[in-house]
Amino acid sequence: MSKTTKKTMRARKPVAEKASTKTADAKAPREELCVFAFRLTEAERDAIHKAAGPAKASKFARNLLVAAATKDEAAVRAIMKEVQAEA
């Protein structure tokens, strides 16, 4: 006589559907950016990093350059005040 074993099947708990955290309708399309590069001395680079704070140098430089290029004196002064306040 052969011995058979009966396996019991466990029912899986239904997995709750995750609500999508990313909604396509909620996000506005990003403006496509391009690269604008220039060469600096190490001292200039270090001064920008010191003025901008950690991990903010590119945004700082971009905001300052765009404000100066568009002759937005108020924005340039605001950026300068931020740098002076953090120093």
Q: Mean pLDDT over residues 71-79, rounded?
A: 96
Confirm whether 17 is domain-assigned: no
Which residue range forms the structural domain that includes residue 49?
42-86
Q: Does some domain include residue 2?
A: no
Instruction: Confirm whether 15 is domain-assigned.
Output: no
- For the whole prediction, is pTM greater than 0.75? no
pLDDT at 40: 96
Banded model confidence at residue 26, pLDDT cuts 50, 70, 90: confident
Helix 42-52, helix 73-86: angle, nearest 10: 90
Any domain includes 26: no
63 touches 75 (CB < 8 A): yes
Q: Which letter does DSSP use for residue 21 in this model?
A: S
23 vs 76, more confident: 76
How many folded domains does the chain comprise? Answer: 1
